[in-house]
């Protein structure tokens, strides 16, 4: 009976992805990032495991929003004291720190628990195209290249000589699986004289001795 494969914590392998936020809508960008962080793009996805990948986002200054959101979208925060509510528009947040725009959008798409906080630490956002993760991305690209090479390289076909093919044709069939009429017919083809009234075991012995 076939058993359903369930991924274990020791079998988890994480990769690194780099995403350029230049001229990308904020919502669609956040959806793509959160899917990579959760690991939903993997066939071995397990909802209870933190099995997602690492994501590096560059050029957060160049992310875009549709419609009138650039001026009308408002971010709220509260100090915890009475009357301590604060608000900031999307344009103001982009001027102060554009990284917070992407981080806040992605964080809202992750689970609000320990797993979500663990996955959120795998998101690295940078306002320009400079980042300190070149080594991890290079190692990931080398692994993917090795996998593609293994898939594309085919073993050379070995041409079989006619002698080998003839020997396979002349191989003796399994006599024990043949019926008595089949054994008699096989013996007549090989010009082996046998008594048709003999038992099946005696016919097999006679054929083996004659070949």
Q: How do residues 145-174 score in pLDDT, each as one tens digit?
A: 554 445 555 545 555 555 545 554 456 677
Where is pLDDT greater, at 130 or 174? 130
Query: Mean pLDDT lowest for which of 14-18, 23-27, 79-83, 141-145?
Result: 141-145
Q: Is 190 in contact with 207 (CB distance < 8 Å)?
A: yes
74-101 pLDDT per residue, tens: 999 999 999 999 999 999 999 999 999 9
Token pair of 175 as six digits: 């006599």
Beta bridge partners of 16: 54
CA-closest candidate to residue 65, choices 105, 123, 35, 97: 105
Bridge pairing between strands 54-58 and 16-20: parallel
Task: Give the gyration radius of the chain's Cα atoms.
Answer: 35
What kind and span of H or E run contains 143? helix 134-152
**Cβ atoms within 10 Å of 32's Cβ, excluding its own:** 17
What kind and span of H or E run contains 17? strand 16-20
Cα separation, 121 vs 207, whole angstroms: 76
Cα separation, 57 vs 166, whole angstroms: 63
Q: Is 38 in contact with 163 (CB distance < 8 Å)?
A: no
Q: What does DSSP assign to residue 43?
A: T
Is 26 strand, coil or helix?
helix
pLDDT of residue 168: 45
Cα separation, 47 vs 176, whole angstroms: 55
Token pair of 71 as six digits: 């001026």
Residue corresponding to tokens 């001027």: 95
pLDDT of residue 44: 87
Backbone φ/ψ region at 203: left (φ over 0), alpha (ψ -120 to 50), beta: alpha
48-84 pLDDT per residue, tens: 888 899 999 999 999 999 999 999 999 999 999 999 9
């Amino acid at each position: 009976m076939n058993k359903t494969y369930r991924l274990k914590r020791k079998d988890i392998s994480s990769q690194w992805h780099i995403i350029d936020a230049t001229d990308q809508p904020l919502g669609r960008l956040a959806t793509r990032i959160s899917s990579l962080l959760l690991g939903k793009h993997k066939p071995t996805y397990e909802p209870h495991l933190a099995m997602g990948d690492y994501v590096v986002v560059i050029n957060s200054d160049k992310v875009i929003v549709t419609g009138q959101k650039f001026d009308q979208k408002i971010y709220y925060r509260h100090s915890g004291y009475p009357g301590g509510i604060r608000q900031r528009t999307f344009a103001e947040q982009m001027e102060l720190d554009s990284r917070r725009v992407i981080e806040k959008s992605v964080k809202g798409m992750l689970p609000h628990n320990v797993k979500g906080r663990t996955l959120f630490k795998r998101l690295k956002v940078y306002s320009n195209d400079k980042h300190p993760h070149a080594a991890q991305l290079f190692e990931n690209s080398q692994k993917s290249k090795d996998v593609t090479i293994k898939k594309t390289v085919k073993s050379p076909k070995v041409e079989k000589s006619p002698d080998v093919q003839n020997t396979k044709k002349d191989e003796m069939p399994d006599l024990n699986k043949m019926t008595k009429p089949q054994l008699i017919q096989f013996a007549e083809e090989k010009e082996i004289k046998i008594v048709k009234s003999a038992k099946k075991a005696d016919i097999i012995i006679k054929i083996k001795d004659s070949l």
